[in-house]
Amino acid sequence: MTQQVDRAGRRTTVGLALILSVQLMLILDMTVVNVALPDIATDLGFTPSALSWVLNAYTLTFGGLLLLGGRLGDVFGRRRTFVAGLSVFTLGSLLGGLAPTPELLVAARSLQGAGAAVAAPSVLALLTSTARDEGARNRSLGLFSAVSSAGGSIGLILGGALTGYASWRWSLFINVPIGLLVLLLVHRFVDETPRQRGRFDVTGAVTATLGSASLVFGFINAPDHGWTSVGTVGAFALAVVLLAGFVANERRVASPLLALDLLRSRVRVGAVSVMALFVGAQFAFFFFAVQFMQGVLGYGALRSGFAFLPLTLLIFATSRLTPRLVGRFGVRPLVVTGVVLVGAANLWLAGLDTSSTYVAHLLGPMVLTGIGAGLSFMPLTVAALTDVAPERAGTASGLLQMAQQIGGALGLAVLVTVYASQNVPGQVVTGMSASYLMATGFLVVALVLAGTLLGRRRTPVPQVADREQLDLAA
């Protein structure tokens, strides 16, 4: 009997490791090419405005198709959907690494995003559905949140190392062996979930994705062509029409991508909204910090990547404590604290100038951001999944992750637009202050929403009281 229990425990542990390794790949691919953008532009001949699509092609297809990915998991089974999405993501990674032109790289990044959108909702759903009890569920959510919140900074480190020692192409190739390994092992260590009957809301998926892409395009187009240009106004108008059409479609179809009754929960709406604003501000931290390191401090890709190591380590260290803190204090105090810390980091960064140094002006904000992100992500995940029936876990997790991706893409688009409006050609720092202040504004709104919508219950999830369980949560 003991051997059977040990064998089952090892199987669960390996399955958890496989699932989380994929989650890490999906998240870090949002930033892994960030430090390599100058090399990509030189190698493939990207124009400055087109270069942003190397990032946005991934995040927009990822975010726009997440709800469809959640629905696919509910209908076909989450392991089957996980495998399908990972296969597409791995293929997109291979094609991206081989891409000879800007157009093919952007297309491959879009394919990566589509695969990620199919796989990602099943990641969280598989973690929660395979947990044996509430303690195991909390531990799984803690690990998921640690991986998700640290993935962006890990991507910068990994991208810097691969670009510095090999080529930017390896920041995409690295996904291929990992993806193939998981595909070979996942059937042995992860169980399938029950399938449900249902149809697919293709119209909803198309309007959500194209509407989000149009909105981002409008912000990116404005600095070069003006806010009143035909392209900018047309993009915003199309975004309004498509997103309004998405909402109208979800109200009338029998099997909507987004069951609007999920948004009747004040706590869930608060968690999703705060997550979008939080990630939008965090994307700005990564993007502009990299520009400062390479443009002002003279760091190369490798050194820029490793400069984010304190942030990564602090996210992991703080995430070790977060499941215990959620059980003791509840969701809202942790989220409020995390948002305040990251807001303070952005205010600090607003003072960057050409005389600023890494130790005096970047290290402190990294410490605050690492602790703040580590405190916030797991509680927001818990809040978003509160009172969700198991059969709707895929849809709810897709909604939360959509908020991350679309929030990141839109936040970065807005902040890059602010930067461009203030920037002087050839001067990297000019415009950063306004962007970081705008990011602080995002977090002020997030703070208000967290304080008013996340509820007053002290323990929104069962406490993990057993000491051994608390250690395992780390």
The answer, yes or no, to whether residue 354 has pLDDT greater than 50, is yes
Q: Residues 185, 223: one domain? A: no
Across all residues in the chain, what is the average pLDDT? 81
CA 289 to CA 308: how far, in whole Å? 9
* pLDDT tens-digit readout, 59-113: 878 877 877 787 788 778 888 899 999 999 999 999 999 999 999 999 999 999 9
Which residue in the block uniquely carries the two structure tokens 């057993």?
466
CA 235 to CA 237: how far, in whole Å? 5
The answer, yes or no, to whether residue 471 has pLDDT greater than 50, is no
CA atoms within 13 A on the CB side of 367: 8
Find residue 427's DSSP bridge partners: 424
The pLDDT assigned to 100 comes to 93
Give residue 136's pLDDT band: very low, low, confident or very high (50, 70, 90): low
**180: three-class secondary structure by DSSP:** helix
Return the H-helix or E-strand segment holding 78: helix 78-98
CA 63 to CA 79: how far, in whole Å? 20
* pLDDT tens-digit readout, 235-265: 889 989 998 998 888 888 877 777 777 787 8
* pLDDT tens-digit readout, 32-64: 887 787 788 889 987 655 777 788 788 878 877
Longest dimension (CA), the chain: 72
Residue 196 lies in a domain: no
The answer, yes or no, to whether residue 185 has pLDDT greater than 60, is yes
Share of the chain above pLDDT 70, in %: 85
The parent domain of residue 430 ranges over 2-190+255-473
Q: Residues 435, 299: one domain? A: yes
Q: What does the block give as tokens for 173?
A: 């190739």
Tally Cβ neighbours within 10 Å of residue 155. 26
Q: Residues 61, 98: one domain? A: yes
Q: Residues 225, 95: one domain? A: no
Distances (CA, A) of 162 to 191, 305, 306, 358, 425: 34, 10, 11, 22, 29
User: 304: which residues sit within 8 A by CB, 6+ positions away?
Assistant: 35, 156, 160, 290, 293, 294
The Cα angle at residue 37 between residues 230 and 50, in degrees rounded to 5: 15
Residue type present at position 173: F
Q: Residues 250, 267: one domain? A: no
CA atoms within 13 A on the CB side of 162: 23
Domain boundary among the residues 254, 272, 292 is at: 254
In 380-418, which positions are buried (b, 16+ CB within 10 angstroms) versus exposed (e)? bbbbbbbebeeebbbbbbbbbbbbbbbbbbbbbbbbbbb
Q: Residues 215, 269: one domain? A: no
In 248-270, which positions are buried (b, 16+ CB within 10 angstroms) versus exposed (e)? ebbeeeeebbbbeebeebebbbb
Q: What does the block give as tokens for 222?
A: 């404005």
**CATH no. for residue 366?**
1.20.1250.20
Give just the sign of the alpha carbon dihedral 208, 209, 211, 212. Answer: positive
Residue 114 lies in a domain: yes
116 touches 62 (CB < 8 A): yes
Q: Residues 246, 276: one domain? A: no
Class of residue 274 by CB neighbours under 10 A (exposed 0-12, middle 13-18, buried 19+): buried
Q: Residues 448, 459: one domain? A: yes
276 touches 404 (CB < 8 A): yes
59 touches 116 (CB < 8 A): no
Angle between helices 393-422 and 266-295 (to 10 degrees): 40
CA 19 to CA 203: how far, in whole Å? 30
Find residue 424's DSSP bridge partners: 427
User: 149: which residues sit within 8 A by CB, 6+ positions away?
Assistant: 315, 319, 373, 374, 376, 377, 378
Q: Residues 432, 364: one domain? A: yes
Residue 381 lies in a domain: yes
Domain count, the chain: 2
Q: Residues 134, 150: one domain? A: yes
Question: What string of DSSP letters covers 365-418?
Answer: HHHHHHHHHHHHHHHHHHHHTTT--GGGHHHHHHHHHHHHHHHHHHHHHHHHHH
The pLDDT assigned to 137 comes to 67
Residue in 447, 172, 164, 440 with CA at minimum distance from that of residue 288? 440
* pLDDT tens-digit readout, 388-426: 776 666 667 767 877 887 888 788 778 878 887 777 666
Residue 195 lies in a domain: no
